[in-house]
Chain A
Amino acid sequence: MATRVEVPEAPRDLPARGATKRSPALRRVRRWLTAYAFLAPAIALFAVFGVYTVVYGFLLSFNNWNGLAPHWTWVGLQNFKTLVSDEIIGPQVRKSVGITAIVMVALPTLVVAISLPLAFALNSIRRFQTALRTIYFLPYVTFGIAIFYAWRFMYDPDGVVNATLRAIGLDRLAPLDGFLGSTSTALPATIAVLVWASVPLGILLYLTGLQTIDQSLLEAARLEGAGVLMLLRRVVWPLLAPITALLVIIMMREALQGFALFLLMTNGGPLESTNVLGLETYTLSFGARSTNLGLASALGWSLFVVALILSLINLRLLRSRTQVR
């Protein structure tokens, strides 16, 4: 078996049988070289923009650097200590941890609670299913600055949300500074957008799961007189548990890492009430407080460790699921 070296216009000489005369060791080495030639572009890209940056960030987190000085100053674990116990940074980070924790609980809970019934309803109808799926998915694919700004427009003090509240006589619920301008409403308002954009993924996953459930099982339960709610709770929910677990983990990771929405909708405000950890890292890296990039790296790496733990849990869950089958 001949394995040709990677010349684009490789001539078709040397029929396969002719090559078998070469020594097996040589052929094996050529085969390996071919494989690595295929991998070379990906490895080059990955080495520079993947591995290098990860290692660089890791090393930087043990140093002090203002971004301009010619050299780093090694400080060991000092940056990690600063994040926890510094008089100014410490409380800031703790506040961000609290806000992020709220998002990490609220986002998965709401996405599961909204997308499961919707998927169940969608699965039960035959007509319009495709059209509805297309529409439901729009928030997910368009997620980005344009959508964030559309929501800001609606949340504006004189925007449609406030106008609607006033029109139906609920003036008290309409914040004067708009939903994003008040410390008590900004976080719920941004979480609502995050939920709105994530529910489609939940619907997609649950729908896939529902379609794999044996229909005769549902039919049997129905014949025994189980109502819809009973069906959902006793049959569908347990069967979809692995998908719920997957969805919860994905949403928790999103809550932990995502910050573009907060950057563009509130920039962490008002009064840091929406300053999630990802955004705090961004601000320490590029914002007004980016005086020590080692500190920003330390926070970025702390996030990485938590994300890694979540992913390992995810892997465990996936494993245990495949073992059952």
Chain B
Amino acid sequence: MGRIAKGVALAVLTAYVVVSLYPFVWMASGAFKDRRDVLQSASPVPDHPSLGAFRDVWRDLDFPRLLFNSARITVLDIVLILFVFPLAAYAFAVLRFPGRRLLYLAFVAALLVPGITVLLPLVILDTKLGLADTPWAIVFPLANAAGPVAVLLLKSYFEAIPRELHEAARLDGYGELRIYRKVYYPLARPALITVAVLNVVASWNEYVLPSVTINSPGQRTLPLGLQNLLSTNVVQWNQVMAAALILVVPVIVMYVLLQRYVTDGLRGAVKG
């Protein structure tokens, strides 16, 4: 490629780095500004850098509780997903039984149903089951929604494991559950991490489900607390940005550490 073309390419790429990071820069800068500066100064560097916004948010929002509730939902969601769907994927990938194709098709077809179509029935169901206002009102629907992609990714991963391993384990007298636990589950680690990472992000960020199933302040999650902050009469943008930063930083850290798994997972999910 010519030198000019290369120069243009580099310029375009650099410009888009700015576009990609711009909102993050403003989020961080707003969080460290004081009440006055946050809307008055057009510079991203705070004139009077302060941790005041963090302190206020931490105190006023019962932040430890929000963090705990969000973390609890995320952990329960991941544990449930990593228990239920690898088992199912193993059955689809390795075992032979009547109704296999039909059942698999039904599972994956669930991907076609838009979230908004089932949101109302889900909330009604949560209420009927007495789950409303508990973490489970969010955990079960989220885990179910994660099913198709998880099964898709894990099934193709299990299928890539050489059949000989299965045969050998059989000859050693292993039953299916032991083969699954001792051979297939450990070998599928990369795919399991992918599934976990995708869903940690999804459940940590989830706003809609908690907003329609959680009523008591004690059960509120981080996104709900953030929303609460903005619905006050006089919006204190430095506080909103401080809370937003606390919400988004864990996601960024995890993504940077485990990005290979994220991109692999998305490629697989999109093609399925």
Contacts and interface: CB of A to CB of B under 8 A. Distances in A.
Interface of A: 1-8, 10, 12, 14-16, 31-32, 34-36, 38-39, 41-43, 45-46, 48-50, 52-54, 56-57, 60, 67, 117-118, 120-122, 124-125, 128, 132-139, 141-147, 149-154, 156, 158-160, 163-164, 167, 196, 200-201, 204-205, 208, 222, 228, 246, 250, 253, 256-257, 259-260, 263-264, 278, 281-282, 285-286, 293, 296-297, 300-301, 303-304, 307-308, 311
A45 B84 contact: yes
* Centre residue among B120, B144, B241, B270 by max chain A CB count within 10 A: B120
B116 A144 contact: no
B53 to A, nearest CB: 12
What's the dominant secondary structure at chain B's contact region? helix
12 contacts: A32-B98, A38-B88, A39-B87, A39-B88, A48-B125, A49-B122, A138-B21, A149-B230, A156-B237, A246-B270, A260-B208, A278-B116
Interface of B: 1-2, 5-6, 8-10, 12-13, 16-17, 19-24, 26-27, 30, 39-40, 42, 83-85, 87-88, 90-91, 95-98, 100, 103, 106-107, 110, 112-125, 140-141, 143-144, 147, 151, 170-178, 180, 201, 205-208, 212, 223, 226-227, 230, 237, 240-241, 243-245, 247-248, 251-252, 255-256, 259, 262-263, 266-267, 270
A12 B174 CA distance: 7
A115 B143 CA distance: 31
Nearest to B87: A38
A145 B120 contact: no
A141 to B, nearest CB: 5
Contacts of B100: 35
B91 A35 contact: yes
Contact of A46 (B6, B39, B147): B147
Nearest to A247: B270
Contacts of A257: 114-116
Nearest to A117: B12
Given A118-B16, A145-B205, A156-B39, A45 B116 contact: no
Contacts of A57: 117-118, 120-121
A188 B123 CA distance: 32
Contacts of A54: 113, 117-118, 121
Nearest to A307: B114
Given A141-B262, A153-B240, A121 B12 contact: yes
B97 A125 contact: no
Contacts of B9: 120-121, 124-125
Given A4-B176, A201-B266, 11 more contacts: A32-B97, A39-B88, A142-B205, A144-B207, A146-B223, A147-B244, A150-B30, A156-B39, A300-B120, A303-B114, A303-B116
Nearest to A2: B175
A132 B20 CA distance: 10
A272 B237 CA distance: 25
A16 B263 contact: no
B85 A15 contact: no
A289 B129 CA distance: 25
Contacts of B119: 282, 285, 300
B97 A45 contact: no
A150 B23 CA distance: 6
Contacts of A133: 263
A128 B156 CA distance: 32
B17 A153 contact: no
A307 B84 contact: no
B154 to A, nearest CB: 11
Contact of B112 (A4, A42, A311): A311
A239 B185 CA distance: 38
A164 to B, nearest CB: 7
Nearest to B197: A141
A135 B125 CA distance: 40
A263 B171 contact: no
A231 to B, nearest CB: 9
A38 B205 contact: no
B223 A145 contact: yes
